[in-house]
Amino acid sequence: MIPIRDNQPSQTMPVAVYGIIAANLLVFLFQVQAGLDNQAYFYRYGLVPGKYTVTEMSRHFSFLNQLFSMVSYMFLHGGFWHFLGNMWFLYIFGDNIEGHLGSLRFLGFYLLCGLLSGMFHFLLNPVSMVPTIGASGAIAGVMGAYFLLYPRSRILTLVPIIIIPMFIQIPAFVFLGFWFLMQFLNAAGSGGGAGIAWWAHVGGFIAGLLLVKLEKKLPSTGTREKIQKFTRKKHTPKLQAIVTRPASQGGDLHGQIEVSSLEALAGAKKIITIPWGFYKPLYRITIPPGIRQGTKLRLAGMGRTLPGQPKGDLFLTVQIKNAI
C-alpha cells in the first residue's frame, strides 16, 4: 500500500518538513559521491550499539563521535528507494503534525523521536555491531502523532492489483495501525535481524504517541502563530479525492471540490479521484477564473448507470477555502 495523500487539510506551508527533506537530500547526495555502500561511512556516522558497549570497538571512536552518531544516523540512507520511501512518508504525514505543533516544536519533536527510537533499538540490541541508519524511526514518531491526533482522517492509498492501480481511501487509524502491527510482528519475528531495525520503528511510533501528549502540557510561546503568518498556504491540493452522494432520483452524483481564494480568482487545474465503482482512476478538472462559492461544475457521464435510464452526471460544488 502506497499513501498518496490524506484528506486532513493543512493551512500552512510545512517549512520544517521541507527543511528536513532538504537536509536528508544533501546528505544523500554526499553519500552518492562517497558510495552508497560505504561501510566505513555507516560505521562512523551510523548508530552502532557496539560503539558504546564493546570495548574493542568503542576505543576506535571518540566521545564526540559517539554523541554525534545518535543524531547523524537518522540522516543516512542505504539506497535510493530507502531515501525516497522515508521522505515520501514524512511529506504525507508531517505537514499536519507541523501545523499542530508549529515549525520549531516540530523540528524538536522530530529529532527527539529519532533519538528515542535509536535508544529503543540500542536497549534491545546492546552489543550489536551492525550499523543502523535511516530516518524511519523519527518518521515513525510523526506517524504515531498522526495516529493519535487525526485517527478519522482518510488516507488516499494506491493499491497495485497486478498492473492495475486502484485508489482507495483508508481511515488513518486503520492504515497506521496496520503499519505499526507489521513493524511489531517483524521485530518480534526477526529479533532485530534481517538488516532492518524494526524495533527502532516500534520505539519511534510509541515515542510520537507519548511526546504529542506531553506537548499539550507545555506553555505556548506565541512563536507558532508568528511563523504561520508567513507560511499560510495559497493553494489547495492538486490531487483531491471526491466523496460522492447520489441524488434523490436518477443517476446523478454530487460531491465537493476545494479551491483557495487565489485559485478561485485566477483559475486552476486539479486532478480528482473518485474511489469505488469507476473504471478510470484519475480525472483532470479545470477550474475557470472568477468562479464563485457554491458554483456547481457538471462532469457529463460521470454519474451512475441505472437500469432503463441514461448514465448520470457528476456535479462538483466549489468550496472556497480562506475566502477573501
Cell of 289: 477564473
Chain-centre distance of CA 110, in angstroms? 13
pLDDT in tens, the chain (324 residues): 889 888 887 878 899 999 999 999 999 999 999 888 888 889 999 999 999 999 889 899 999 999 999 999 999 998 999 999 999 999 999 999 999 999 999 999 999 999 999 999 999 989 989 999 999 999 999 999 999 999 999 898 888 777 777 778 899 999 999 999 999 998 887 654 445 788 899 999 999 999 999 988 888 777 877 887 788 777 787 878 788 888 777 788 899 998 988 899 999 999 887 755 444 567 888 999 999 999 999 988 888 878 888 888 889 999 987 644
Q: How far apart are CA 85 and CA 89, in angstroms?
A: 6
How many alpha carbons fall within 13 Å on the CB side of residue 211?
30
Name the residue with cell 477550474: 287
What are the domain boundaries of the chain? 2-231, 239-321
Please name the CATH architecture into which domain 239-321 falls: Sandwich (2.60)
Q: Which three cell numbers mark 4?
A: 498518496
Q: Which residue's entry shows cell 490524506?
A: 6
CATH class of 2-231: mainly alpha
DSSP for 112-157, please give it. HHHHHHHHHHHHHSTT--S-B-SSHHHHHHHHHHHHHH-TT-EEEE
Q: Return d(Cα 302, Cα 273) in angstroms, integer.
A: 12
